[in-house]
Amino acid sequence: MMRTRLMRAMALALVICALGAGTGALSITGQLLDYEKGYVFFTTGDGFRVAPDLRLRSYKTGGPTALQPQARMYARATFDAAGDVSELDLSRAPLTFAGDYAAAHKFAVALSPPVANPALVPKHGGGYCANTVPGKLVPVTITVQVPPDTAPTDQVYMTTDISAWNPQAYLLTRINAMQYRLVLQLLSGTVMHVLFDRGSTQSIQRGENGLQQQPYLLCVGDSTVQAYTRTIYHWGDEQHGNLSAPQAFPTPYNPAPFPNLPTPPPSP
């Protein structure tokens, strides 16, 4: 995860590049965190000293503006030769991050010298849950093998923590006698916990040992496609026992395995 954030920071550094603007002055465009006590802060966390004669202008018109710098606002900051921000062009509408961040970073003010953060060292391993660049739409093919006693007409669903464990959140479709499949377009970086069921919380899958199954972790990586397969050993509403579904009172004991036998005519 830390590596992910480091990569995001690098990506930001790439998109904030200098705009020469014909005058040779350095400028960067980004989103503001704060403006107070003589400093303006961008979402990179960097704070820059502002010049005493700071000019506030509209990014759109280039003219004077009534806007005041504040959090969430977008701005283009132009630096003077001393490294102070001499002009802020403000916009409420999103602006594309631009400018030479590396060049501007040397003007950022910080009392303490940087200290390496070991938590940001990229970690290897961890599968799709680690080292993922987020934001890419990835087709994820989810295939489950169901217990062999799953009836041909049964419907199978996926329930997840991001759908408040609604047992009918995602419908899977049968692809053969023992497998069901679902293809979802999910953003890379998505992390969710999932279980499978037959449409009710009573039917949520059980473990191979017959006990409650802990949710599976599903992490979406940034590969072109992703396959996710699981085996379901038992359903929670399997007929090994006598658990009744809600509002289904037990029917009288029927010794015949045919519940709807016709009634023969009365004997003479």
Partner 1 sequence: MSDVPLRRLSLRLAVLALFALALCAPAGAATIVRLHANRIAFYYDRFLIEADGNVRVQTSDGMTVTGQAFTMDLRLNRFMVAGHVHVDSPSGSQDGAALADFLSFNRVYFVPITTEPDRWTFINGDFKHPVKGLVMPGDTFYFPDLAHARVYLYARSAVIGAQAFVRFGPSRVALVGHAYVPFPSYYLNFSTNQNLGANSLAGANFDGTYQFAGNANAISAVHVRYDTVNKAYLSFEQHLSSKNAYAVFSLNPATTTSKYWNLLLDDRPSKTFEIQTFTQLHTVQYGLGQPFQAQQVTNVQLTQALKRAFLQGNYQFFNASLLAPFAPNINAGAINAFFPYHPSNASLGISTSDEQFGKLPFFERMRFGFGFQHNSYGLQTIGGVPYTTIWDHYAGFTIYSNPIRIGSPMKRFTDLYLNAILDKQRTWNSTPHYIDTTSTTFSLSKTFNQHLSSYLMYNVNNTGDYYTNGLQSVAYAPFVPALNGSSYPGYAAFHGQATLRTLSLGATYTNLDYFTFSLLARQHKDFPAPIPFLFPLPPTNVLGQFLYPNFLGQPAFDITGDLRFRLNPHMSIDISRSYYFNYENLRWTPQFIFQVMQ
Beta carbon of residue 63, minimum distance to partner 1 (angstroms, whole number): 25
Pairwise CA distance, residues 247 & 40, whole Å: 64
Per CB under 8 A, which of residues 50..109 are in contact with partner 1?
Answer: 70-72, 94, 109
Residue with tokens 């929670």: 236
Pairwise CA distance, residues 185 & 206, whole Å: 27
Which range, of 17-25, 32-40, 56-64, 78-86, touches partner 1 by CB under 8 A?
32-40
What does the block give as tokens for 124? Answer: 């290897």
Residue 259, Cβ neighbours under 10 Å: how many?
7
Residue 20 or 135 having the CB closest to partner 1: 135
Task: Write the CA distances from 140 to 24, 71, 103, 128, 229, integer angstroms.
Answer: 48, 37, 41, 12, 10
Residue 26 or 140 having the CB closest to partner 1: 140
What does the block give as tokens for 201? Answer: 């919380």
For partner 1 (CB under 8 A), the number of binding residues is 106
Beta carbon of residue 255, minimum distance to partner 1 (angstroms, whole number): 5
Pairwise CA distance, residues 110 & 33, whole Å: 16
DSSP, collapsed to helix, strand or coil, labels residue 28 as: strand
Residue 26 or 73 having the CB closest to partner 1: 73
Residue 78 or 150 having the CB closest to partner 1: 150
Task: Pick one of 105, 163, 223, 230: the residue that binds partner 1 (CB under 8 A).
Answer: 163
Pairwise CA distance, residues 256 & 243, whole Å: 20
Per CB under 8 A, which of residues 121..160 are in contact with partner 1?
Answer: 139, 141, 145, 148-149, 151-154, 159
Per CB under 8 A, which of residues 183..212 are in contact with partner 1?
Answer: 183-185, 191, 193, 195, 199-201, 204, 208-212
Task: Pick one of 5, 60, 92, 123: the residue that binds partner 1 (CB under 8 A).
Answer: 5
Q: What are phi and psi of 109, to 5 degrees?
A: -100, 130
**179 lies in the site for partner 1, by CB under 8 A:** yes
